[in-house]
Chain A
């Protein structure tokens, strides 16, 4: 069919063309280049990765031989292909969106679109190359490139001090993470024959327990920084509000996934986690991230900051199910481990889709209303019906409501957590139970959070002048939202087609297929087979599991986990049939209401506002008010230190203005981030002392360093 190599190089050429064209063309054409080249290159990479995902054909490419560092290898297996596919799926709509979005008033004439275009295409290329890197060197090189280009894009509004600070925080944390990851690879590569992943894998088999733990901790910290896990999550909620919305969408939808890719590649593929403790650590960190993320998200009023915290929550959920997978794998339960990994990857795919959708939606709101604070938005559904519809789909998906995609993966995650009864150790069981409870609370708070996000932004009355003057965004900004919304729906109602693909993906490192465990072949098997007995199949046929067998391809539309003889169905559901039923119910109730109200007259009046003379926007419910119960209930968790600031203006003996401001500092900032920042600063001051500026001294440093290296070389 296609020559995948050629298509891959077409992608690289397109990115290069994007860079060159962005550098030479004037602003007006630059927007079109951004949209067209970006979407074409995403299409190319979608075809390549989709092909690998479906056919399972691994393609590999040896580049150059770098003497002592080994070959540079590009290799796309199914695991890489899944991440590449998600990347393409996010970049396609984001590219279409970007062209128009970069016209934002605050960007035009102040910041150069040229540099944005250059870095955008470079970032895209570096992410894809990172995902297909087959050896440590190219992995680390592209990882650094990705970190720096994403920093440059976040730092787009470089004239604002707030932005440069956030960008710098992001870069420094990311570098700390990279350092840890390099150390992990260094430990791994010490005994390996080469620096490509397969030889690392062979070397890893005979590792001692201590070095396994060291590598696990280093890599989990290093990649965890990128994934925004607690306690290194601080950069996310700062970088997102600072970055342009399209960059935020990429940051959340793609770059966070890269942290997970690192964790999975290293701790599941190259050096599988062999200790229950390590798995439990991943599980706990994931759960805490999820809970902290959603608690902070619920009380934030900046639309993008809220979404950033919600990204931390989702990354936490994914990490928790990865941790569950690690534990099940170590405990010798490959089936449950497989289901946990499938849940994790499914949730990652879903998160990328709906988070990109929500960030682009927030971008559209920002573009149109020039405001991101939910307290000052409101009533946009009347002027931006399409944007609000798509944002609603995103909010429903992220709140895990059927039939949208978030439901499927979150349901699978919680179901997997409940299967911890199969484990033997009581301690781990207790941890699982607590984590499952915390994740359930997270899911409930997510609903609160996104009810607030949608209601305060789009419903009610406009609470500011800017919001009341908003208009619907152009079609080129609505279309990408629509694409993502349709994807959210499709990935929600067709889980039985996604799960086999994900199953093939996880088989690259678990080496076992569990598609039978989740998607029974109700369509293909009518009389029963060895695994699914006649009675079992017949019973489900009676329940309607075979409805649509004649005209729908695939194995079936029911997700079902088969248990033992005593307990034949552990869990089962079908969003596909649910969707059909929902449509029928909706249509039925509309018809019923029409029939019942046929003879009645409907009068429409203004909303009842307590009989006030005039309803002023600042009398209406605000985002702060909506989230206040959560703030109060979880005061024991937030532990706020409150600083009240009162500013009085006195002119000619009269007090003419009182300005009161309240600042709350929560426990996470107080105990983790501020000391961390202080430590880093004092370290930097200490290191700064060796920089005297004298050339002779630097020459001496180089000599000393060389001598130390030679001594170490000699001793080893």
Chain B
């Protein structure tokens, strides 16, 4: 049965409707972070960014769930500062853009501007199913259906929403401190596929 972990929104329709339910957890194909290319981030940032990375969060039309998970990593329990990650309000200081949401038409220009305002080297994290391929919104006149159709993305963080530890893992993977599943651009998801 077709199951694409990057697109899973945890709706469990697969469990209710399919005769042979997907045991996706045991199959072990759910990843915390998927890198689009071999060690792309590590190469890009080099050694000097390993323990100091500044993040700028862009809400490109997210429902709020991804944002609340991002909020968690800033709190004492997950505490991203201990790992050397910091939030910054301006993309001028940022090294990494954290994008959540399917990129609505209204957020297309601001996202592009924020990306262009960042100094090189710059990385982009697509957080959640929406940012990866459009999620439940898909592609329409109001939604671009994923960040990668606008700006180059380095790491995908699947989940709806992705758990905070997954975000931290993706960030660590970006600077080369953790391993991320590699998915070459050819395997990257294209469009929406039916589950039934």
Interface of A toward B, CB cutoff 8 Å: 603, 605, 608, 610-613
Contacts and interface: CB of A to CB of B under 8 A. Distances in A.
Contacts of B91: 608
Nearest to A612: B110
Contacts of A608: 90-92, 113, 117
Interface string B112-151: 0110110010000000000000000000000000000000
Contact of A605 (B90, B110, B117): B117
B74 to A, nearest CB: 21
Contacts of A610: 110
A378 B46 CA distance: 42
B90, B113, B114, B116 interface centre (most CB from chain A within 10 Å): B113
B89 to A, nearest CB: 10
B109 interface: yes
Given A608-B91, A611-B110, A612-B110, 10 more contacts: A603-B120, A605-B116, A605-B117, A608-B90, A608-B113, A608-B117, A610-B110, A611-B111, A611-B113, A613-B109
A612 B107 CA distance: 10
A603, A610, A613 interface centre (most CB from chain B within 10 Å): A610
Interface in B88-105: 90-92
A611 B92 contact: no
A611 B117 CA distance: 9
Interface of B: 90-92, 109-111, 113-114, 116-117, 120
Nearest to B119: A603
10 contacts: A603-B120, A608-B90, A608-B91, A608-B113, A608-B117, A610-B110, A611-B111, A611-B114, A612-B110, A613-B109
Contacts of A612: 110
Nearest to B111: A611
Nearest to B115: A611
Contacts of B120: 603
A608 B114 CA distance: 8
Contacts of B117: 605, 608
Nearest first, the 6 closest Cβ-Cβ pairs linking A and B are A611-B110, A608-B117, A611-B113, A608-B92, A611-B114, A613-B109
B25 to A, nearest CB: 39
Nearest to B58: A611
A389 B113 CA distance: 32
Nearest to B93: A608
Contacts of A605: 116-117
A146 to B, nearest CB: 56
A612 B116 CA distance: 13
Query: What secondary structure prevails in chain B residues at the interface with A?
Result: helix
A464 to B, nearest CB: 26
A611 B114 CA distance: 6
Nearest to B92: A608
B85 to A, nearest CB: 21
A221 B111 CA distance: 64
A611 B116 CA distance: 10
A697 B182 CA distance: 111
Nearest to B112: A611
Contacts of B111: 611
A608 B94 CA distance: 12
A613 B92 CA distance: 18
Nearest to A609: B113
Nearest to A613: B109
B62 to A, nearest CB: 16
B91, B110, B111, B117 interface centre (most CB from chain A within 10 Å): B117
Contacts of A613: 109-110
Nearest to B110: A611
B109 A611 contact: yes
Contacts of B113: 608, 611
A158 to B, nearest CB: 52
A608 B119 CA distance: 12
Contacts of B90: 608
A601 to B, nearest CB: 9
A613 B90 CA distance: 16
A612 B112 CA distance: 11
Contacts of A603: 120
B31 to A, nearest CB: 31
A612 B90 CA distance: 13
B158 to A, nearest CB: 26
A503 to B, nearest CB: 53
B100 to A, nearest CB: 15
A603 B116 CA distance: 10
Nearest to B113: A611
A603 B90 CA distance: 17
Contacts of B109: 611, 613
A651 to B, nearest CB: 34
B109 to A, nearest CB: 6
A605, A608, A611, A612 interface centre (most CB from chain B within 10 Å): A611
Contacts of B116: 605
A625 to B, nearest CB: 19
Nearest to A611: B110
A603, A608, A613 interface centre (most CB from chain B within 10 Å): A608
A222 B114 CA distance: 62
A284 B110 CA distance: 56
A389 B105 CA distance: 44
A612 B117 CA distance: 12
Nearest to B89: A610
B84 to A, nearest CB: 24
A79 to B, nearest CB: 57
Nearest to B116: A605
Contacts of B110: 610-613
A602 to B, nearest CB: 10
Nearest to A608: B117
B115 to A, nearest CB: 10
A608 B116 CA distance: 9
B196 to A, nearest CB: 39
Nearest to B106: A613
A516 B109 CA distance: 68
A608 B120 CA distance: 15
A608 B58 CA distance: 14
A605 B112 CA distance: 13
A605 B117 CA distance: 7
Contacts of B114: 611
A608 B112 CA distance: 12
A612 B110 CA distance: 6
A194 B110 CA distance: 82
A428 to B, nearest CB: 52
A612 B91 CA distance: 13
Contacts of A611: 109-111, 113-114
Nearest to B120: A603
B95 to A, nearest CB: 15
A613 B113 CA distance: 9
A603 B113 CA distance: 15
B55 to A, nearest CB: 16
A603 B117 CA distance: 10
A312 B126 CA distance: 59
B116 to A, nearest CB: 6
B58 to A, nearest CB: 8
A603 B114 CA distance: 15
Nearest to A610: B110
A613 B111 CA distance: 11
A608 B110 CA distance: 10
A605 B92 CA distance: 11
A58 B90 CA distance: 66
B108 to A, nearest CB: 10
B34 to A, nearest CB: 27
A272 B164 CA distance: 80
A613 B106 CA distance: 9
B48 to A, nearest CB: 14
A3 B92 CA distance: 67
A603 B92 CA distance: 12
B119 to A, nearest CB: 8
A603 B91 CA distance: 15
